[in-house]
Amino acid sequence: MSKYTDYQFKPFLREAIGRLGFENPTPIQKEMIPLILKGTSAIGQAHTGTGKSHSFIIPVLERVNAEADELQAVITAPTRELATQLSNELDKMTEGTAIRSSLLIGGTDKQRSIGKLKSNPHIVIGTPGRIRDMAENGALAIHTARILIIDEADLAFDMGFIEDIDHFASKMPADLEMYVFSATIPEKLKPFLTKYMESPVHVKIGERQSLTEGMHYTLVPVRSMSRKKKLLHVMEAINPYLAIIFTNTRQHADEIADYLAENCIKAGRIHGDLTPRERTRMMKQIRDLEFQYIVATDLAARGIDIPGVSHVINYELPDDLEFFIHRVGRTARAGLEGTAITLYEPSEDDKVVRIEKMGIPFVHEDVKKGEWIEIKERHARKNRLKQEDEIDRKAVSIVKKPAKVKPGYKKKMAQEIEKIKKRERRLKRKK
């Protein structure tokens, strides 16, 4: 199907799709929607910004029977924020219908969650731990749900939630349909998939093209000044709609946010040490556009959808370079342009080379007096020194020590070597 109008969806779904302005399905939607409509278990592998959420929300809603008073589908997300976002998207599409859904996440009142489940929702969206908890104490009749969606499965694995999913999935029907969505499929995740999925269709949407589409990748040397000061210089030279500054640790995130506050820059912060209440308040402030800058750990690269990000600044390169792709994937979404700025030191050259091999076309730039200037590639000096070494070795190998030495022979040899070196340099320049 090339357009959403080509699908024979229920009237409420067609109206919702039109209301949201969806016209053409994205590649992942085009592949996954028919599979879920047919009940064919599948793995959808695609990176952020590809429209994964609606590739399962739309077909699940098409299949739900609003007249049946039972749970029919379970959707898991590894973080509270992601689960909340999915629930909000679902609510937009079911407005004015008889389809009931419940959001089950940690950090909320447990008794209130139990109360909501008494009405037998058709769809449950939540974090694995809270869904397991509700299923274990009998509040959630999970045994009737034949559809299980696992969103961001690799992140769920990294965060240790696969055991929770396994626990409640084992109590679901024998003919369970499982749909797994993930940016990557780690080797350690495969035994779990094999347990519940027999020969699933594996849909893989390549991300390499989207890495460069609408993106500008700037590589900025830190050089003699401190990394924090260089960050300030970079921030003075940009005027983002919204920028995320990525750090590798929670401690660094707090340090940078505090440093920016000392320099009269108000920045939000997102990391794992925030309490549920603090995270909820922070996300509200971000959506209300109270910040131009957010300092975050890699949790925000995967676990939270922040709309309107125009710039990503890698304050430091991630230890796991796959997270570089997730970080920069926060911008240049939905056809918009984006800028990814990466600070680096010479000691990180190996990481930079490996990122370049992943298909990232860095432009070497620096900030001088508040203006961006293009600079020579970081390899230029290294290559120049290498060429000089080659010329030196060649000249020394040509000029031999005379069999009979006379006074001043060393000076004459040095002069001859210098002549050959000048000649070789001229030849190199001509090339």
pLDDT attached to residue 209: 45
pLDDT attached to residue 134: 95
- Domains in the chain: boundaries: 4-206, 215-374, 383-430
Question: Whose CA is closest to 21, among 271, 326, 335, 257?
Answer: 335
Which CATH entry fits the domain spanning 215-374: 3.40.50.10490, 1.10.340.30, 3.40.50.300, 3.20.20.70? 3.40.50.300
Residue 387 has pLDDT above 70, yes or no: no
Burial class (CB in 10 A: 0-12, 13-18, 19+), 100: middle
Q: Taking a C-beta distance cutoff of 8 angstroms, is the pair 84, 125 a contact? A: no
> CATH classification of 4-206 is 3.40.50.2300, yes or no?
no
pTM: 0.70
What number of CA atoms fall less than 13 Å from residue 54's CA on the CB side?
Answer: 21
Distance CA 159, CA 179 (A): 19
Categorize the per-residue pLDDT at 383 as very low, low, confident or very high, splitting at 50, 70 and 90: low
Residue 380 has pLDDT above 80, yes or no: no
Categorize the per-residue pLDDT at 381 as very low, low, confident or very high, splitting at 50, 70 and 90: very low
Question: Whose CA is closest to 180, among 159, 163, 161, 197?
Answer: 197
Distance CA 101, CA 119 (A): 10
SS3 assignment, position 119? coil
Residue 431 has pLDDT above 70, yes or no: no
pLDDT digits (tens, 9 = 90+) for 70-112: 999 999 999 888 899 899 999 999 999 999 999 999 877 888 8
What number of CA atoms fall less than 13 Å from residue 273's CA on the CB side?
Answer: 9
